[in-house]
A and B are shown apart, each in its own frame.
Chain A
Amino acid sequence: GEDVEQSLFLSVREGDSSVINCTYTDSSSTYLYWYKQEPGAGLQLLTYIFSNMDMKQDQRLTVLLNKKDKHLSLRIADTQTGDSAIYFCAEIVYGQNFVFGPGTRLSVLP
């Protein structure tokens, strides 16, 4: 079955690193994604990782994938107030569509 879980809230100080975690259940996932949603806006793709990769780095963003534990994480280095938003983990399974987690609300304190 398909299920994606995330912790609902995370609070960090400006300049610190943020780590947002996600677990998924479907081992058939081909790609895993991180989306960002700001208030009143749609979803913006931040980064993605193919299921045969362990890590992907893109500027301040680092994605780690542990397929054995079905665990995905997003690390944001040097977190800024503009990073305050809701972050969604999503998976896509071959032949199916996207399954999103409930979202993690990141609050960045000055």
Chain B
Amino acid sequence: DAGVTQSPTHLIKTRGQQVTLRCSPKSGHDTVSWYQQALGQGPQFIFQYYEEEERQRGNFPDRFSGHQFPNYSSELNVNALLLGDSALYLCASSLGLAGGLSSYNEQFFGPGTRLTVL
């Protein structure tokens, strides 16, 4: 059973460019969350997708957008890249929306995509 997979592993872009990162959730999971982890910091929540809609969003500008496909895979798009967007982008999958009381909402994380903006 494949866990969460992300592509590409590494990516180098220049300021102003656009980037698309991809995530395939763990088998049986229907919810995908994206996190940004800057060097030396903890992951920061970007947004969460469930049933092909953005359900929750963290404190990130509109340059960050996403999509979820019918097979539950997801993309993260970042427009007009800034130097400060350089980070490890983590995808996590789970069953159902986070924050419910019925389960502990375990999120399984992928290995991440390392984005460098020059």
> B41: which A residues are within 8 A, CB to CB?
102-103
- Could you tell me if A100 and B42 are in contact, using CB atoms closer than 8 angstroms? yes
Q: How large is the interface on A (under 10, 10 to 19, 20 to 34, 35 or more residues)?
A: 20 to 34
- Could you tell me if B98 and A92 are in contact, using CB atoms closer than 8 angstroms? yes
| B14 sits at the interface (CB 8 A) | no
- Could you tell me if A95 and B99 are in contact, using CB atoms closer than 8 angstroms? yes
| B17 sits at the interface (CB 8 A) | no
- Could you tell me if B45 and A99 are in contact, using CB atoms closer than 8 angstroms? yes
| A97 sits at the interface (CB 8 A) | yes
| B33 sits at the interface (CB 8 A) | yes
- How many residue pairs bridge A and B at CB < 8 Å? 64
- Could you tell me if B106 and A48 are in contact, using CB atoms closer than 8 angstroms? yes
> A55: which B residues are within 8 A, CB to CB?
none
Taking A90-B42, A98-B45, A102-B40 as given, write out 14 further A-B residue pairs in contact, using a Cβ cutoff of 8 Å, ordered by the A residue number: A4-B42, A33-B104, A41-B111, A42-B109, A42-B112, A43-B43, A43-B90, A44-B109, A88-B42, A96-B56, A97-B48, A97-B56, A97-B99, A100-B42
Measured CB to CB, the residues of B under 8 A from A are 4, 33, 35, 40-45, 48, 56, 58, 90, 92, 98-101, 104-112
Q: Which 9 A-B pairs have the closest CB atoms?
A: A100-B42, A42-B109, A43-B109, A95-B99, A42-B111, A97-B45, A97-B98, A102-B42, A100-B43
